[in-house]
Structure 1
């Protein structure tokens, strides 16, 4: 067993739960890795050949780092809100990869290097540190992570921060001012300022959750398409009201699934990235018309099209935060030694899955089965109860079909074995409150049909 992860933490996480200490362990480790990654960027830029990172870019990066240090001295918590912003992770990993493997400074690498200035500027604004910077837009936008974006048009722009005011001077067009408020939000009458929407904290005294639709440096469009997700979506005023209205109903619905569901969302979720509905999807946001996901390098972010109801919003968070928890745990302690060959049957996917994908999917669907069972047991309306039982039965049967391959693997580490054993205990605990027979029969038929179709498509591959 890894000394980094105590046995009681593994057992709690295996039950898809996790007390405050367990969640704090995951968060602290991920935050530490982010700081190391950012420092590695500076070192990689310093060591890169001049052809890849020319001296002017290297000098600018050092100035940005000095501004980050000044912001950290002025207000550490405010600065780290920016440094730990989930969408800074994909950018930082992409930039580090470019600095260590590229042979020529392509436009993507130059843009990623320039984004360090925007990161430093956002931290300085939050910390109240004055500055004057030259910023390079991408697609006519300069994002200030966690705050919003400045629409500048083509060409570099100057941004200054003094006495709670940001003044942007674009290369083309008149300057405009954005005011910083005591709560660190920014506002401007000029439509060239695009603020992010902050969703209210999930728990009293907690941090608001950013609905970030203005950061072009985060999740790349090709990455979204590769995982069957809709493209990143800009949120207009009517859609903002819909997101905020749906979000308002999420906390009490999460609590229906147990206090641990609300606690894990409050501890782990920092950012929601709005997505468009998948291609060919219907307008209601349910079933195939809804998509969501997480990315390992964007810890704390849930990517999601707008769910149709607060209940589906809550279940989306339950589902996706399990992926975040399990991925963070796997960086602390190896869970298995299986290879990445896609060969396993997973009832929630038409294609063969690698062992790690099977484990991730079973883990998240187990949490959903537990959530929807609790929801059904507490629902007052017949229609709500009926829908919850249907969701529970489907997820439960899907997990039941996946568990034998997980439990029978000889490649599980001791930590992985502990995790899977706890998952099995939760799965059997669900039998204490079985779904109505009709829902159970339909769920069993659904999984059986999925398996037949999978076998027809994939032939003699391992199941």
Structure 2
């Protein structure tokens, strides 16, 4: 337990978690069997268990099996979202599972009513067959006899388990690393329950795409073996499948795990092997914590008001519930540790690693500070958070070159300010009081304007990490010169959600960034990002400290008062002058 509290975990600890997950899966299967008649599928699974128990063990522990079991039970109880595929297709997946068990065990059998999903028949851990079926949901028969196997529907028959072809797409198994430290993982593009939290239909990879993923995984695994050997040893036990999805914008990968699918990771195609290594660490943290939560709670049940608490998570655009924030804290403790080790292992100056370590340790500290001693934390939850806080405090004392440290702090403050500008709303009395005082020519705002800004989630909040992404372009090495040559407008256009001022700030020109943000606000004072960005530019330039402090700490107040004054007078006040006037409220 102490290893997991530190965000770590040896192979022995992972073995205990796997044993617990096995018990949970068997319990879920028993619950499903009690709810519906599994019929011939149960009989075939039982035969396979007697003939080749390890085959059934592997299938039961496959991440997608856990996801399917949880999904089926939720659908039966009416607690799952959505109504596709039909319930009979979800429940019929047990026949796909049984057919895969029979095939892998080498049994002779005939199993009817195996689901066909948009013409594809997925067989867990094996692959998927393609039938000439036009309707979205249908059934087929899987037949195995004398060492040959087919899936049939009407006159159509597709041979199974042979080489890949237009009608049969086998699942690929990737094995990387030296013989004594190999990672063996399924590259799953076929199982409908490989994506979280909702199933999706099979999308087989091309040979070229699969080879690309293999190369990325080989290089990522080499990084982990070299720099995170203890984590890599644990991953060999606890990473079971990787689901590839399409690439996203650079420096903005997407990855997902589910507590129902221990050992499974869904990840977008990474920018490079280093990003994939970070993703594996990130999602492996979620895997461990999700399994721990099946054994012991970190939080008591929420018995508070109907409107639940939500918190600032520096790695998200949206406010997060306490449970989600804890998951993020645990995951990003692993990411912070990764960058800490990577900057030590890298040969020569590694600007990006210094920046990432400095950024994530600040983000992590701020996230944990919010919920210290929260009344919902169980003793175990308190101990886990305290342990991670101790690590975070030590990491904050480690030296980072001043230039990258300053950039990291700027990006951390900028993200927090953008989040506030979107999701906090000053009360109407506070805004009205400030407006009256401004119009009356008061030298400073009355203290009544300092009342809190309640949380009002803004669904339009997106891309709050734009400044950090632009800094990553600058520090990554390959694009540094090109960014400078492109100019701020073209540079900003490469990053969704970025403003010209963001690009200028990332390039190290805060005075020009200030001018760009003010130009944006003159054209449209509504967007929250320009208000927070203006505060970042003033901070970096070292000018107008009162305005900078207010725009970092309470940008939502400047934004709301500016809007109210414009509505009242028909003339927009100067944003910097207004923020400086409001500045004493943030002192």
Alpha-carbon distance in 2 for matches of 1:19, 1:191: 42
Summarize the Cα distance change of 1:12–1:136 in structure 2 as closer, same or farther, 3 Å threshold: closer
Seen in structure 2, the aligned counterparts of structure 1 residues 72 and 232 have a Cα distance that, compared at 3 Å, is closer
Q: How far apart in 1 are the matches of 2:84 and 2:351? A: 55
Aligned partner (choices 96, 104, 126) of residue 126 of structure 1: 104
Look up the match of 1:275.
245
Q: Distance in 2 between matches of 1:234 and 1:342?
A: 41
Structure 1 pair 156–363 and aligned structure 2 pair: CA distance change class (3 A): closer
Relative contact order (alpha carbons < 8 A, sep ≥ 6): 1 or 2 greater? 1
Gaps of 5+ in 2: 425-452, 456-552, 554-587
Residues 107, 441 of structure 1: alpha-carbon distance in 2 compared, 3 angstrom cutoff: closer
Distance of 1:223 and 1:381 partners within structure 2 = 45
What does 1:241-320 align with in structure 2 at a 5 Å threshold? 241-277=211-247, 281-282=248-249, 286-288=250-252, 290-320=253-283
8 Å Cα contact 2:122-2:129 kept in structure 1: yes
Shift of 1:44: 0.2
Greater mean alpha carbon deviation, residues 237-246 or residues 254-263: 254-263
Q: CA deviation at 1:297?
A: 1.4
Indicate yes or no: 2:168 matched with 1:193.
yes
Q: 1:212 aligns with which of 188, 209, 230?
A: 188
In structure 2, the CA distance between the partners of 1:203 and 1:127, relative to structure 1 (3 Å rule), is: farther
Residues 1:166 and 1:405: Cα distance change in structure 2 (over 3 Å):
same
**Alignment partner, residue 358 of structure 1:** 325
**For 1:266-294, what per-residue CA distance to the aligned partner results, in whole angstroms no more than 9, with x for missing partners?**
121111111223xxx43xxx312x21111
Unaligned runs of 5+ in 1: 1-8, 46-57, 179-185, 225-230
The 1:381/1:65 distance shift into structure 2, 3 A limit, reads farther
- Worse-matched range after superposition: 195-204 or 117-126: 195-204
SS at match of 2:317: coil
User: TM-score, normalising length from structure 1?
Assistant: 0.83
Could you tell me how far apart the structure 2 residues matched to 1:329 and 1:262 are? Answer: 19
The equivalent residue for 1:53 is none
> Tell me, what secondary structure is at the counterpart of 2:117?
coil
- Structure 1 residue 177: Cα displacement: 2.5
Moved more, 405-414 or 328-337: 405-414
2:400 equivalent in structure 1:
435
The runs of at least 4 consecutive aligned structure 1 residues that moved more than 6 Å come to none
Alignment of structure 1 residues 91-130 onto 2, 5 Å: 91-101=68-78, 108-130=86-108
Q: In structure 2, the residue corresponding to 1:32 is in which secondary structure?
A: helix
- Change over 3 Å in CA distance of 1:461–1:440 after alignment to 2: farther
The alignment partner of 2:244 has SS state of: strand
Relative to structure 1, the CA distance from residue 437 to residue 143 in structure 2 (aligned partners, 3 Å threshold; closer, same or farther) is same
Matches within 5 A, 1:370-385: 370-382=337-349, 385=350
Pair 1:426-2:391 in alignment = yes
Deviations 1:287-337 (A, max 9, x none): 12x211111212211110111211111110100111111111112111122
TM superposition score normalised by structure 2:
0.66
If you compute each CA radius of gyration, which structure gives the higher value, 1 or 2? 2
CA distance, structure 2, for counterparts of residue 387 and residue 397 of structure 1: 16
Residues paired across the two proteins, number: 415
* 2:12 is equivalent to residue 21 of structure 1: yes
Aligned to 2:293: 330
